[in-house]
Amino acid sequence: MDKKLRPLLGIFIAVACAAALWKHRLTAAGVDVQVVQAANVLLMAVSLLTHIMYQRAMGTDSPHGFVRKVSGTFIIKFVVLASAALCYFYFSEAINKPAIIICAALYLVYNFISTAQVVKRKQAQQP
């Protein structure tokens, strides 16, 4: 396993376990656990895709090219997840706001961790 993926896998496993263990508490609090679990899987899948794109960005010598590719992955994540949210809003009978807020927080966590890893690696590469 790639050591660079450990923090992302850790977040994925922690959220999946928390959702499974606290399912009754979350449901009692009005959170749709299935929405949170689906968002967690989608975020992990998109994070794996962008990890590959980050690897390609690491190979660029130009700082502008690096920033452009990292910004592109941010936009790809946002578009995919916004599309998923719009599908949820369109097809769902009742929109679960607490679950959407948790999903947005998960998006920020996944994005922060993956971007921080890339910036650290890029800084370590520079002499």
Give 27-68 pLDDT, tens digit per residue.
Answer: 999 999 999 999 999 999 998 888 888 878 777 778 888 788
Question: How many distinct structural domains can be found in the chain?
Answer: 1
Look up the domain containing 42 and give its range: 32-122
Question: Hunting for tokens 């959407």 — which residue is that?
Answer: 100
In a domain, 127, yes or no: no
In a domain, 6, yes or no: no
For residue range 86-104, list pLDDT tens digits in order.
999 999 888 999 999 999 9
In a domain, 63, yes or no: yes
Alpha helices in the chain (DSSP H): 6-21, 23-28, 33-58, 63-91, 97-125
The whole-model pTM stands at: 0.85
